């Protein structure tokens, strides 16, 4: 009787403590057939706070696309040279709202953050980086619609008014040399935020978002090494999955069917979107971020000398769709890709 009473007290205290974690409670959203355990859990208080922090800045008035291009008027314009002068100015002013800190000193405020007195000069590393990031933004919007759909991205998607995005990653050098019977932790047992403070490998990014390692949990065949999947491979995969879950604020059933994890035919459409997202992040890191390593000053590099790179959190920041699905690029067609070159007018046939 005493033991049962104690158990009831423990359960009551546990319930009270758990209830205190979220004043508004947790909502379960079913995203699969009943009985399959396919439901995504959302903490209402967390979602409300994220929504309040995901409001878009005011959209600047659209600019006319006619007239001489920026490349014809200004010197050393290498990316947005296809825009009209008015469109070019609109994007430049928007960037100062999206990226430049509001409390920046005068010498780094507004246009001065990237430009020197000679606007054509490339001496500031911020200008070289911004040029590369504009290329990347256009690339995402025009090439990676399999992941971003027609929603698209702008500089604000990642920066949110900060010069440096709040979420990026560097290579983790690990705890260093280990002594004793086990000479190395093999990338584990050093809990990190990247892996959700689990004992899984503490760097889930380098194998998959920089290198092209296979994302595997179990093999498809028995015997042989053609499709071998080791326990170690599974642990690296789980580490990446934990990161994706944390980045999007969802649980595993958002993409997977809990009765058939590896079966694509029983998975949700979000799994395909995530598949493209992994490959998009990998390409962005290798095509745009890594080439900028020598451009950044030493204080902007990681402890191993590598450049900051993107992962799922860079855009999503804890939300299943960045900015809760707000269409970011529709108001800025200048960032969707290069404008089509007008076709030459065919000569008018002479009237006999």
Three-state secondary structure string covering 181-219: CCCCCCCCCCCCHHHCCCCCCCCCCHHHHHCCCCCCCCC
80: Cα within 13 Å, side-chain hemisphere? 27
Residues of the chain with CATH 1.10.468.10: 56-166+317-341, 170-314
- Tokens encoding 189: 């047992």
pLDDT at 18: 43
pLDDT at 65: 93
pLDDT at 222: 65
pLDDT at 152: 95
Q: Are 32 and 251 in contact (CB under 8 A)?
A: no
Q: What is the mean pLDDT of residues 191-213?
A: 89
- Find the largest Cα–Cα distance for the chain: 112
**H-helix segments, 57-144:** 70-73, 85-98, 125-143
pLDDT at 186: 61
Question: Which pLDDT tens digit goes with each residue over 171-184?
Answer: 988 776 555 555 55
Question: Which pLDDT tens digit goes with each residue over 72-102?
Answer: 999 999 999 999 999 999 999 999 999 988 8
Q: What superfamily would CATH give domain 170-314? A: Photosynthetic Reaction Center, subunit C, domain 2 (1.10.468.10)
Q: What is the mean pLDDT of residues 291-315?
A: 96
pLDDT at 336: 94
CATH architecture assignment, domain 56-166+317-341: Orthogonal Bundle (1.10)
């Amino acid at each position: 009787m005493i033991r049962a009473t104690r158990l009831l007290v423990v359960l009551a205290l546990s319930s009270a403590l758990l209830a205190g974690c979220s004043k508004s409670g947790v909502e379960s959203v079913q995203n699969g057939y009943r009985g399959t355990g396919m439901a995504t859990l959302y903490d209402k208080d967390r979602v409300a706070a994220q929504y309040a922090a995901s409001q878009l800045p005011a959209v600047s008035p659209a600019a006319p696309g006619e007239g001489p291009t920026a490349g014809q008027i200004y010197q050393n314009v290498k990316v947005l040279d296809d825009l009209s002068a008015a469109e070019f100015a609109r994007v430049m002013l928007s960037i100062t709202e999206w990226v430049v800190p509001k409390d920046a000193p005068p010498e780094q405020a507004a246009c001065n953050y990237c430009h020197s007195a000679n606007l054509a000069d490339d001496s500031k590393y911020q200008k070289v980086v911004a040029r590369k990031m504009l290329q990347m933004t256009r690339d995402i919007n025009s090439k990676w619609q399999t992941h971003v759909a027609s929603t698209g991205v702008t500089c604000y998607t990642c920066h949110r008014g900060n010069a440096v995005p709040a979420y990026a990653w560097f290579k983790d050098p690990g705890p260093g040399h280990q002594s004793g019977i086990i000479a190395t932790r093999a990338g584990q047992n050093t809990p990190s935020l990247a892996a959700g403070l689990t004992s899984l490998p503490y760097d889930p990014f380098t194998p998959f978002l920089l290198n092209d390692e296979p994302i595997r949990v179990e093999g498809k065949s028995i015997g042989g090494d053609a499709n071998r999947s080791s326990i170690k491979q599974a642990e690296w995969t789980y580490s990446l999955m934990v990161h994706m879950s944390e980045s999007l604020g969802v649980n595993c059933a958002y993409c997977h069917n809990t009765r058939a994890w590896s079966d694509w035919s029983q998975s949700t459409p979000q799994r395909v979107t995530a598949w493209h997202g992994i490959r998009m992040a990998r390409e962005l890191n290798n095509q745009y971020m890594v080439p900028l390593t020598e451009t950044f000053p030493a204080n902007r590099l990681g402890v191993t000398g590598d450049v900051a790179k993107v992962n799922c959190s860079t855009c999503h920041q804890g939300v299943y769709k960045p900015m809760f699905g707000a269409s970011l690029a529709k108001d800025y067609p200048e960032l969707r890709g290069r404008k089509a070159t007008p076709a030459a007018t065919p000569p008018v046939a002479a009237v006999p």
